[in-house]
Structure 1
Amino acid sequence: MDSRSRYITTPEDAEQFAASQMRDMGFPDARVTGRGADGGVDVVARRAVAQVKWMHSKVGRPDLQRLYGARGAEHSKDMLFFAELLSPSPYTQDAVGYADEHGIGLFAYTSDGNLFPVNQHAKDFVAGIDQVRAARAARAAFMVTVRTVVWSSLLVVSICGLFISVLTVPSAAPVWLGFLALSVLGLVLARVYQPGVK
Protein backbone atom coordinates (compact mmCIF):
# COMPACT_ATOMS: atom_id res chain seq x y z
CA MET A 1 0.00 0.00 0.00
CA ASP A 2 1.08 3.54 -0.52
CA SER A 3 2.24 5.78 2.26
CA ARG A 4 -0.10 8.55 3.35
CA SER A 5 2.88 10.72 4.41
CA ARG A 6 1.57 11.04 7.93
CA TYR A 7 2.65 9.58 11.22
CA ILE A 8 0.31 7.61 13.41
CA THR A 9 1.09 8.57 16.99
CA THR A 10 -2.23 8.14 18.81
CA PRO A 11 -5.18 5.75 18.77
CA GLU A 12 -7.22 8.52 17.14
CA ASP A 13 -4.64 8.84 14.34
CA ALA A 14 -4.87 5.09 13.80
CA GLU A 15 -8.66 5.21 13.57
CA GLN A 16 -8.60 8.15 11.14
CA PHE A 17 -6.00 6.30 9.05
CA ALA A 18 -8.19 3.17 8.95
CA ALA A 19 -11.25 5.21 7.95
CA SER A 20 -9.26 6.87 5.16
CA GLN A 21 -8.03 3.50 3.90
CA MET A 22 -11.58 2.12 3.96
CA ARG A 23 -12.81 5.06 1.89
CA ASP A 24 -10.12 4.19 -0.66
CA MET A 25 -11.29 0.58 -0.60
CA GLY A 26 -14.75 1.55 -1.77
CA PHE A 27 -16.50 2.44 1.49
CA PRO A 28 -16.98 6.19 0.82
CA ASP A 29 -18.95 6.82 4.00
CA ALA A 30 -16.41 5.25 6.39
CA ARG A 31 -16.09 7.32 9.56
CA VAL A 32 -14.65 6.96 13.04
CA THR A 33 -17.28 6.14 15.66
CA GLY A 34 -15.60 8.18 18.39
CA ARG A 35 -17.15 6.03 21.08
CA GLY A 36 -14.08 6.11 23.28
CA ALA A 37 -14.47 2.83 25.15
CA ASP A 38 -13.62 -0.12 22.93
CA GLY A 39 -16.98 -1.60 21.97
CA GLY A 40 -15.58 -3.69 19.14
CA VAL A 41 -16.19 -1.17 16.35
CA ASP A 42 -13.99 1.89 15.75
CA VAL A 43 -14.91 2.68 12.13
CA VAL A 44 -18.32 2.26 10.54
CA ALA A 45 -19.67 2.48 7.03
CA ARG A 46 -22.97 1.51 5.50
CA ARG A 47 -21.42 -1.71 4.20
CA ALA A 48 -18.60 -2.37 6.66
CA VAL A 49 -17.34 -2.24 10.24
CA ALA A 50 -13.76 -2.15 11.48
CA GLN A 51 -11.77 -2.35 14.65
CA VAL A 52 -8.41 -0.64 15.05
CA LYS A 53 -5.62 -1.51 17.48
CA TRP A 54 -2.72 0.84 18.19
CA MET A 55 0.35 -0.09 20.26
CA HIS A 56 -1.30 -3.37 21.15
CA SER A 57 0.13 -6.75 21.90
CA LYS A 58 -0.67 -9.47 19.39
CA VAL A 59 -4.30 -9.51 18.34
CA GLY A 60 -5.92 -12.78 19.32
CA ARG A 61 -9.08 -14.63 18.46
CA PRO A 62 -11.12 -12.89 21.24
CA ASP A 63 -10.45 -9.48 19.63
CA LEU A 64 -11.85 -10.74 16.32
CA GLN A 65 -14.78 -12.39 18.07
CA ARG A 66 -15.67 -9.00 19.58
CA LEU A 67 -15.69 -7.44 16.10
CA TYR A 68 -17.80 -10.30 14.77
CA GLY A 69 -20.24 -9.89 17.66
CA ALA A 70 -20.33 -6.10 17.31
CA ARG A 71 -21.41 -6.46 13.69
CA GLY A 72 -24.60 -8.00 15.04
CA ALA A 73 -27.27 -9.32 12.71
CA GLU A 74 -26.05 -7.25 9.76
CA HIS A 75 -24.22 -10.18 8.16
CA SER A 76 -23.97 -8.42 4.79
CA LYS A 77 -21.48 -5.94 6.31
CA ASP A 78 -17.81 -6.55 5.62
CA MET A 79 -15.46 -6.76 8.59
CA LEU A 80 -11.95 -5.30 8.66
CA PHE A 81 -9.36 -5.31 11.41
CA PHE A 82 -6.37 -2.94 11.52
CA ALA A 83 -3.44 -3.61 13.88
CA GLU A 84 -0.13 -1.81 14.19
CA LEU A 85 2.82 -3.80 12.89
CA LEU A 86 5.00 -4.12 16.00
CA SER A 87 6.32 -7.61 15.26
CA PRO A 88 6.53 -9.81 12.15
CA SER A 89 2.77 -10.34 12.47
CA PRO A 90 0.42 -8.46 14.78
CA TYR A 91 -2.01 -11.42 14.74
CA THR A 92 -1.81 -14.81 16.40
CA GLN A 93 -2.19 -17.87 14.16
CA ASP A 94 -5.48 -18.63 15.91
CA ALA A 95 -6.72 -15.12 15.05
CA VAL A 96 -5.75 -15.52 11.38
CA GLY A 97 -7.58 -18.85 11.24
CA TYR A 98 -10.70 -17.30 12.78
CA ALA A 99 -10.54 -14.35 10.38
CA ASP A 100 -10.23 -16.65 7.37
CA GLU A 101 -13.16 -18.73 8.58
CA HIS A 102 -15.41 -15.70 9.18
CA GLY A 103 -14.39 -13.45 6.28
CA ILE A 104 -12.56 -10.77 8.27
CA GLY A 105 -9.93 -8.76 6.39
CA LEU A 106 -6.78 -8.44 8.50
CA PHE A 107 -4.44 -5.50 7.94
CA ALA A 108 -1.15 -4.46 9.49
CA TYR A 109 -0.09 -0.81 9.38
CA THR A 110 3.10 1.00 10.27
CA SER A 111 3.42 4.25 12.19
CA ASP A 112 4.51 6.01 8.99
CA GLY A 113 1.22 5.21 7.25
CA ASN A 114 1.88 2.06 5.23
CA LEU A 115 -0.77 -0.63 5.08
CA PHE A 116 -0.24 -4.33 4.41
CA PRO A 117 -2.88 -7.02 3.83
CA VAL A 118 -2.32 -10.03 6.10
CA ASN A 119 -4.85 -12.53 4.73
CA GLN A 120 -6.69 -13.17 1.46
CA HIS A 121 -9.80 -11.26 2.55
CA ALA A 122 -7.63 -8.18 3.11
CA LYS A 123 -6.00 -8.66 -0.30
CA ASP A 124 -9.48 -8.67 -1.82
CA PHE A 125 -10.23 -5.32 -0.15
CA VAL A 126 -6.92 -3.93 -1.43
CA ALA A 127 -7.97 -4.95 -4.94
CA GLY A 128 -10.96 -2.68 -4.28
CA ILE A 129 -8.54 0.23 -3.70
CA ASP A 130 -7.03 -0.33 -7.12
CA GLN A 131 -10.50 -0.46 -8.69
CA VAL A 132 -11.57 2.77 -6.97
CA ARG A 133 -8.39 4.56 -8.06
CA ALA A 134 -8.79 3.25 -11.62
CA ALA A 135 -12.41 4.44 -11.68
CA ARG A 136 -11.37 7.90 -10.43
CA ALA A 137 -8.65 8.14 -13.07
CA ALA A 138 -11.07 7.02 -15.80
CA ARG A 139 -13.66 9.58 -14.66
CA ALA A 140 -11.03 12.35 -14.65
CA ALA A 141 -9.80 11.34 -18.12
CA PHE A 142 -13.39 11.34 -19.39
CA MET A 143 -13.94 14.86 -18.04
CA VAL A 144 -10.77 16.04 -19.80
CA THR A 145 -12.11 14.56 -23.04
CA VAL A 146 -15.50 16.24 -22.54
CA ARG A 147 -13.88 19.63 -21.86
CA THR A 148 -11.64 19.22 -24.90
CA VAL A 149 -14.59 18.37 -27.15
CA VAL A 150 -16.64 21.31 -25.85
CA TRP A 151 -13.83 23.84 -26.30
CA SER A 152 -12.84 22.37 -29.67
CA SER A 153 -16.43 22.72 -30.85
CA LEU A 154 -16.50 26.33 -29.70
CA LEU A 155 -13.21 26.91 -31.53
CA VAL A 156 -14.63 25.52 -34.80
CA VAL A 157 -17.82 27.55 -34.43
CA SER A 158 -15.77 30.69 -33.68
CA ILE A 159 -13.57 30.21 -36.75
CA CYS A 160 -16.62 29.64 -38.96
CA GLY A 161 -18.41 32.63 -37.43
CA LEU A 162 -15.36 34.84 -37.90
CA PHE A 163 -14.97 33.76 -41.53
CA ILE A 164 -18.66 34.33 -42.31
CA SER A 165 -18.77 37.70 -40.50
CA VAL A 166 -15.70 38.97 -42.37
CA LEU A 167 -17.48 38.15 -45.65
CA THR A 168 -20.96 39.34 -44.70
CA VAL A 169 -21.02 41.61 -41.62
CA PRO A 170 -17.50 42.95 -40.98
CA SER A 171 -18.65 44.84 -37.87
CA ALA A 172 -19.36 41.49 -36.12
CA ALA A 173 -15.76 40.29 -36.58
CA PRO A 174 -14.54 41.58 -33.16
CA VAL A 175 -17.25 39.55 -31.40
CA TRP A 176 -16.17 36.39 -33.22
CA LEU A 177 -12.53 37.19 -32.48
CA GLY A 178 -13.48 37.31 -28.79
CA PHE A 179 -15.16 33.89 -29.04
CA LEU A 180 -12.12 32.59 -30.89
CA ALA A 181 -9.76 33.83 -28.16
CA LEU A 182 -12.01 32.41 -25.43
CA SER A 183 -12.23 29.02 -27.12
CA VAL A 184 -8.45 28.83 -27.63
CA LEU A 185 -7.92 29.70 -23.96
CA GLY A 186 -10.50 27.12 -22.88
CA LEU A 187 -8.96 24.45 -25.07
CA VAL A 188 -5.48 25.14 -23.68
CA LEU A 189 -6.78 25.04 -20.09
CA ALA A 190 -8.69 21.81 -20.78
CA ARG A 191 -5.45 20.16 -21.87
CA VAL A 192 -3.16 21.71 -19.24
CA TYR A 193 -5.38 21.55 -16.15
CA GLN A 194 -6.24 17.89 -15.71
CA PRO A 195 -7.04 17.21 -12.03
CA GLY A 196 -6.94 13.52 -11.16
CA VAL A 197 -5.11 12.53 -14.35
CA LYS A 198 -1.49 11.43 -13.98
Structure 2
Amino acid sequence: MRATSGYSVGRSGGRAMDSRSRYITTPEDAEQFAASQMRDMGFPDARVTGRGADGGVDVVARRAVAQVKWMHSKVGRPDLQRLYGARGAEHSKDMLFFAELLSPSPYTQDAVEYADEHGIGLFAYTSDGNLFPLNQHAKDFAAGIDQVRAARAARAAFMVTVRTVVWSSLLVVSICGLFISVLTVPSAAPVWLGFLALSVLGLVLARVYQPGAK
Protein backbone atom coordinates (compact mmCIF):
# COMPACT_ATOMS: atom_id res chain seq x y z
CA MET A 1 0.00 0.00 0.00
CA ARG A 2 1.15 3.53 -0.51
CA ALA A 3 0.04 7.08 -0.11
CA THR A 4 -0.83 8.38 -3.55
CA SER A 5 -0.98 11.93 -4.78
CA GLY A 6 -4.03 13.84 -3.69
CA TYR A 7 -6.01 12.41 -0.81
CA SER A 8 -6.59 8.76 -1.61
CA VAL A 9 -4.65 5.64 -0.75
CA GLY A 10 -4.06 3.06 -3.44
CA ARG A 11 -2.94 -0.57 -3.46
CA SER A 12 -0.13 -0.59 -5.98
CA GLY A 13 2.44 -2.36 -3.85
CA GLY A 14 4.38 0.71 -2.74
CA ARG A 15 5.71 1.42 0.73
CA ALA A 16 3.92 3.29 3.47
CA MET A 17 5.57 6.20 5.23
CA ASP A 18 6.18 4.02 8.26
CA SER A 19 5.86 0.31 8.91
CA ARG A 20 6.58 -1.35 12.23
CA SER A 21 5.78 -4.57 14.02
CA ARG A 22 2.74 -3.30 15.88
CA TYR A 23 -0.97 -3.94 15.68
CA ILE A 24 -3.73 -1.49 16.48
CA THR A 25 -6.74 -3.26 17.96
CA THR A 26 -8.17 -0.72 20.40
CA PRO A 27 -8.70 3.05 20.56
CA GLU A 28 -5.90 3.22 23.12
CA ASP A 29 -3.55 1.45 20.70
CA ALA A 30 -4.43 4.01 18.04
CA GLU A 31 -3.73 6.92 20.38
CA GLN A 32 -0.41 5.46 21.51
CA PHE A 33 0.53 4.85 17.89
CA ALA A 34 -0.27 8.45 16.99
CA ALA A 35 1.75 9.75 19.94
CA SER A 36 4.70 7.59 18.90
CA GLN A 37 4.52 8.87 15.34
CA MET A 38 4.38 12.46 16.55
CA ARG A 39 7.49 11.92 18.64
CA ASP A 40 9.23 10.69 15.50
CA MET A 41 8.00 13.77 13.65
CA GLY A 42 9.81 16.08 16.03
CA PHE A 43 7.35 16.46 18.91
CA PRO A 44 9.38 14.61 21.58
CA ASP A 45 6.95 15.30 24.42
CA ALA A 46 3.84 14.00 22.63
CA ARG A 47 1.65 12.02 25.01
CA VAL A 48 -1.85 10.58 25.16
CA THR A 49 -4.27 12.68 27.20
CA GLY A 50 -6.44 9.78 28.33
CA ARG A 51 -9.99 8.87 27.38
CA GLY A 52 -12.57 11.52 28.14
CA ALA A 53 -10.05 14.05 29.40
CA ASP A 54 -9.05 15.70 26.14
CA GLY A 55 -12.00 17.89 25.16
CA GLY A 56 -11.42 17.06 21.50
CA VAL A 57 -7.69 16.34 21.77
CA ASP A 58 -6.28 12.82 22.17
CA VAL A 59 -2.56 13.59 21.96
CA VAL A 60 -0.86 16.72 23.20
CA ALA A 61 2.63 18.14 22.95
CA ARG A 62 4.15 21.50 23.72
CA ARG A 63 3.96 22.44 20.04
CA ALA A 64 1.09 20.33 18.73
CA VAL A 65 -2.32 18.76 19.35
CA ALA A 66 -3.89 15.77 17.63
CA GLN A 67 -7.17 13.93 17.36
CA VAL A 68 -7.33 10.17 16.72
CA LYS A 69 -10.28 8.23 15.29
CA TRP A 70 -10.49 4.44 15.48
CA MET A 71 -13.05 2.28 13.64
CA HIS A 72 -14.80 5.45 12.61
CA SER A 73 -16.82 6.39 9.57
CA LYS A 74 -15.47 9.07 7.30
CA VAL A 75 -14.10 12.08 9.14
CA GLY A 76 -16.04 15.20 8.25
CA ARG A 77 -15.54 18.91 8.56
CA PRO A 78 -17.16 19.06 12.05
CA ASP A 79 -14.51 16.65 13.42
CA LEU A 80 -11.74 18.95 12.25
CA GLN A 81 -13.57 21.99 13.53
CA ARG A 82 -13.64 20.40 16.99
CA LEU A 83 -9.88 19.89 16.84
CA TYR A 84 -9.39 23.47 15.72
CA GLY A 85 -11.60 24.71 18.55
CA ALA A 86 -9.86 22.49 21.12
CA ARG A 87 -6.54 24.09 20.25
CA GLY A 88 -7.96 27.33 21.59
CA ALA A 89 -5.92 30.50 21.47
CA GLU A 90 -2.59 28.69 21.14
CA HIS A 91 -2.40 29.33 17.41
CA SER A 92 1.30 28.47 17.26
CA LYS A 93 0.49 24.81 17.93
CA ASP A 94 0.39 22.46 14.97
CA MET A 95 -2.70 20.31 14.41
CA LEU A 96 -2.71 16.69 13.26
CA PHE A 97 -5.57 14.29 12.65
CA PHE A 98 -5.20 10.50 12.55
CA ALA A 99 -8.00 8.33 11.14
CA GLU A 100 -8.23 4.65 10.38
CA LEU A 101 -7.72 3.95 6.70
CA LEU A 102 -10.87 3.75 4.60
CA SER A 103 -10.75 3.44 0.83
CA PRO A 104 -10.21 5.68 -1.00
CA SER A 105 -9.84 8.14 1.92
CA PRO A 106 -11.08 8.36 5.52
CA TYR A 107 -11.81 12.08 5.06
CA THR A 108 -14.67 13.77 3.25
CA GLN A 109 -13.85 16.37 0.64
CA ASP A 110 -15.18 19.10 2.94
CA ALA A 111 -12.81 17.89 5.66
CA VAL A 112 -9.87 17.94 3.27
CA GLU A 113 -10.64 21.48 2.18
CA TYR A 114 -11.01 22.63 5.78
CA ALA A 115 -7.72 20.96 6.74
CA ASP A 116 -5.88 22.59 3.86
CA GLU A 117 -7.32 25.97 4.76
CA HIS A 118 -6.43 25.73 8.46
CA GLY A 119 -3.11 23.89 8.28
CA ILE A 120 -4.23 20.54 9.70
CA GLY A 121 -2.16 17.49 8.77
CA LEU A 122 -4.35 14.56 7.71
CA PHE A 123 -3.05 11.04 8.26
CA ALA A 124 -4.49 7.58 7.68
CA TYR A 125 -3.23 4.52 9.55
CA THR A 126 -3.78 0.80 9.16
CA SER A 127 -4.26 -1.83 11.85
CA ASP A 128 -0.79 -3.24 11.15
CA GLY A 129 0.93 0.07 11.89
CA ASN A 130 1.36 1.76 8.52
CA LEU A 131 0.90 5.50 8.34
CA PHE A 132 0.03 7.57 5.27
CA PRO A 133 0.24 11.38 4.99
CA LEU A 134 -2.77 12.43 2.92
CA ASN A 135 -2.28 16.16 2.39
CA GLN A 136 0.64 18.53 2.04
CA HIS A 137 0.57 19.60 5.68
CA ALA A 138 0.84 15.95 6.73
CA LYS A 139 3.73 15.41 4.32
CA ASP A 140 5.51 18.39 5.85
CA PHE A 141 5.09 16.88 9.33
CA ALA A 142 6.20 13.48 8.04
CA ALA A 143 9.41 15.02 6.74
CA GLY A 144 10.32 15.53 10.38
CA ILE A 145 10.63 11.75 10.78
CA ASP A 146 13.57 11.66 8.36
CA GLN A 147 15.19 14.57 10.18
CA VAL A 148 14.79 12.91 13.58
CA ARG A 149 16.12 9.60 12.31
CA ALA A 150 19.06 11.33 10.62
CA ALA A 151 19.86 13.10 13.90
CA ARG A 152 19.70 9.80 15.79
CA ALA A 153 21.99 8.15 13.24
CA ALA A 154 24.47 11.02 13.48
CA ARG A 155 24.41 10.82 17.28
CA ALA A 156 24.97 7.06 17.16
CA ALA A 157 27.90 7.50 14.76
CA PHE A 158 29.39 10.15 17.05
CA MET A 159 29.13 7.83 20.06
CA VAL A 160 30.89 5.07 18.11
CA THR A 161 33.71 7.51 17.37
CA VAL A 162 33.93 8.51 21.03
CA ARG A 163 34.01 4.87 22.14
CA THR A 164 36.73 4.14 19.60
CA VAL A 165 38.90 7.03 20.82
CA VAL A 166 38.39 6.09 24.48
CA TRP A 167 39.06 2.42 23.75
CA SER A 168 42.26 3.22 21.85
CA SER A 169 43.48 5.55 24.60
CA LEU A 170 42.81 3.01 27.34
CA LEU A 171 44.51 0.30 25.35
CA VAL A 172 47.61 2.46 24.94
CA VAL A 173 47.60 3.29 28.66
CA SER A 174 47.29 -0.38 29.61
CA ILE A 175 50.10 -1.43 27.28
CA CYS A 176 52.36 1.35 28.56
CA GLY A 177 51.54 0.46 32.15
CA LEU A 178 52.29 -3.20 31.53
CA PHE A 179 55.54 -2.36 29.75
CA ILE A 180 56.73 -0.06 32.54
CA SER A 181 55.76 -2.59 35.21
CA VAL A 182 57.92 -5.19 33.47
CA LEU A 183 60.88 -2.80 33.33
CA THR A 184 60.48 -1.67 36.94
CA VAL A 185 62.60 -3.66 39.36
CA PRO A 186 60.51 -5.75 41.77
CA SER A 187 62.29 -4.07 44.68
CA ALA A 188 60.37 -0.90 43.91
CA ALA A 189 57.18 -2.70 44.86
CA PRO A 190 54.81 0.31 45.12
CA VAL A 191 55.80 1.60 41.69
CA TRP A 192 55.69 -1.84 40.12
CA LEU A 193 52.30 -2.68 41.60
CA GLY A 194 50.96 0.74 40.63
CA PHE A 195 51.81 0.36 36.96
CA LEU A 196 50.59 -3.24 36.96
CA ALA A 197 47.26 -2.14 38.44
CA LEU A 198 47.08 0.66 35.87
CA SER A 199 47.59 -1.77 33.03
CA VAL A 200 44.93 -4.17 34.35
CA LEU A 201 42.47 -1.31 34.86
CA GLY A 202 43.19 -0.03 31.37
CA LEU A 203 42.52 -3.45 29.87
CA VAL A 204 39.24 -3.80 31.77
CA LEU A 205 38.02 -0.35 30.75
CA ALA A 206 39.16 -0.93 27.19
CA ARG A 207 36.97 -4.01 27.15
CA VAL A 208 34.01 -2.00 28.45
CA TYR A 209 34.47 0.79 25.91
CA GLN A 210 35.33 -1.50 23.02
CA PRO A 211 33.54 -0.25 19.87
CA GLY A 212 30.43 -2.32 19.29
CA ALA A 213 30.13 -3.36 22.94
CA LYS A 214 26.71 -2.77 24.50
| TM class by smaller structure | 0.7 to 0.9
Deviation at residue 87 of structure 1 after TM alignment? 1.6
How many residue pairs align between the two structures?
198
RMSD of aligned Cα (Å): 3.6
In structure 2, relative to structure 1, the CA distance for the partners of 1:94 and 1:139 (3 Å cut) is same
Q: What do the CA deviations read for 1:137-191 (whole angstroms, capped 9, x no partner)?
A: 1111111111111111011122222223322345899999999999899999989
User: Contact (CA 8 Å) 2:186, 2:192: kept in 1 or not?
Assistant: no
Summarize the Cα distance change of 1:176–1:105 in structure 2 as closer, same or farther, 3 Å threshold: farther
Q: CA deviation at 1:36?
A: 2.1
Alpha carbons of structure 1 residues 165 and 115: separation in structure 2 relative to 1, 3 Å: same
Cα gap change, 1:44 to 1:179, in 2 (>3 Å): farther
Measured after TM superposition, the shift of residue 109 of structure 1 is 0.3
Identity %: 98
Taking structure 2 as the reference length, what is the TM-score of the superposition? 0.78
Structure 1 length-normalised TM: 0.84
- Unaligned runs of 5+ residues in structure 1 are none
CA–CA distance in 1 between the matches of 2:123 and 2:212? 27
Q: Is the 8 A contact 1:152 1:187 kept in 2?
A: no
CA contact (8 A) 1:159 1:180 kept: no
Distance 1:30 1:182, change over 3 A: farther
Q: Which runs of 4+ in 1 moved over 4 A?
A: 170-198
Distance 1:57 1:197, change over 3 A: farther
Q: Is the 8 A contact 1:162 1:173 kept in 2?
A: no
CA gap 1:171/1:131 in 2 versus in 1, 3 angstroms: farther
Q: Distance in 2 between matches of 1:81 and 1:122?
A: 9
**Please, which moves more after superposition, 69-78 or 95-104?**
95-104
- Alignment partners' CA distance in 2, 1:192 and 1:161: 18
CA distance in 2, matches of 1:33, 1:95: 24
1:136–1:196 Cα contact (<8 Å) kept = no
Name the CA shift for 1:88/1:166 in 2 (closer, same or farther; >3 Å): same
Deviation of 1:6 (Å): 1.8
1:11-58, CA deviations, whole angstroms, 9 ceiling, x for partnerless residues?
A: 111111111111111111111111427732111111100000111111
